[in-house]
Amino acid sequence: MAKICVIGSSSMDLVVTSSRRPGAGETVLGDSFKTVPGGKGANQAVAAARLGADVTMIGRVGDDAFGTAILNNFKANAVNTQNVKPVTHMESGTAHIVLAEGDNSIVVVEAANREVTPAYVDEAAEVIQRADIVLIQQEIPEETVVRVSEICAQSGTPLLLNPAPARKVPDEVIDKAAYITPNEHEAEILFQGMTPAEALRKYPNKLFITEGSNGVRYFDGEREIVVPTYKVEPVDTTGAGDTFNAAFAVALAEGKPLQESIRFANRAASLSVTKFGAQGGMPMRSEVEESLK
């Protein structure tokens, strides 16, 4: 079983639907409210576990009811939570989402996710060193991403950096990462002053730009390759990127060749867009294998 360590955010999404969004100082009546576990780190951990990996999450929750719910959701998805420690006197990360007028407005409160510090990951260094692959995103402090890249480099553990949400990544992290998976918008911010083609050439077999329904683009050392994704009827693309990254990590950790790993990840991600919600659409291993036949 592939051992995957995911380092990142966990949160509770508080989702309200309303026919209209309130302006400043205004109150409107909403139609519905629900809470759903989210956060890019948590989403990717859950996706990897559903795809059959042995997943350990390194993250933090608050000492509130959301923290308990987030931990229960990890357990329900067979994610190891030994390194998801509650922060005392702090709230869990939350995303406050209003779905109205055909678009969303979101306020994110990082809270406990800010406590995924370099010192905190140092305490779990052994988990990182023992993993077949480490998967990280950018909803935690930048200095933590730097520290994880150092631990991975020292122990020779491959690091997959999903540079989302978009922010500039220190050169040392780009150097130390084995795989980097921005979407097109994130790639622009990461490689300012370079065209996508130039960036891909600079990082052969390391930079993989995801292009939504188009698939994934990379440079193999000789030429640019697009691995097309699968045609589906999209219902909700939320979580496509998270599913792609988790599935790519699982396939690589299992030793699958590069193109086969991308195809597996495209297949998993394309299945995820046929269902509502981020985690709601993440497929089980058997579904992916069945649909690859």
Ligand X SMILES: Nc1ncnc2c1ncn2[C@@H]1O[C@H](COP(=O)(O)OP(=O)(O)OP(=O)(O)O)[C@@H](O)[C@H]1O
For residue 127, the tally of other CB atoms under 10 A from its CB is 20
> What is the pattern of x (binds K ion, CB under 5 A) and - over residues 270-289?
--x--------x--------
Q: Compute how many residues bind ligand X; rule: CB under 6 A.
A: 23
Q: What is the dihedral of CA 115, 3, 219, 243, to 10 degrees?
A: -70
Among positions 9, 56, 138, 183, the unique one binding ligand X when judged by CB under 6 A:
183
Pattern of binders to K ion over 229-248, x per CB under 5 A? -------x-xx---------
Whether 103 is catalytic? no
How many angstroms separate the Cα of 192 from the Cα of each of 124, 176, 189, 199, 207? 34, 19, 6, 9, 15
**Is 242 annotated among the ligand-binding residues?**
yes
Chain residue whose CB lies nearest K ion: 281
CA pair distance 246, 213, nearest whole angstrom? 18
40 neighbors 9 (Cβ within 8 angstroms): yes
Check binding of 273 to ligand X (CB under 6 A). yes
57 is in an annotated binding site: no
Type and span of the H or E element at 248? helix 240-253
Is 255 among the annotated ligand-binding positions? no
CB closer to K ion, 44 vs 83 = 44
The reply on whether position 234 binds ligand X by CB under 6 A is yes
Within 13 A of 162's CA, how many CA atoms are on the CB side?
31
- DSSP single-letter state for residue 284: P
CB of 236 to K ion, least distance (A): 4
Asked whether residue 266 is marked as a ligand-binding residue, the answer is: yes
Sheet strand arrangement including 54-62? 80-87, 54-62, 3-7, 133-136, 159-161, 179-180
Binding residues: 11-13, 39-43, 139, 183, 210-215, 236, 238, 241-242, 266, 272, 275, 277
Q: Which residues carry out catalysis?
A: 242
Residues of this chain that interact with K ion (CB under 5 A) are 236, 238-239, 272, 281
Binding residues for substrate: 11-13, 39-43, 139, 242
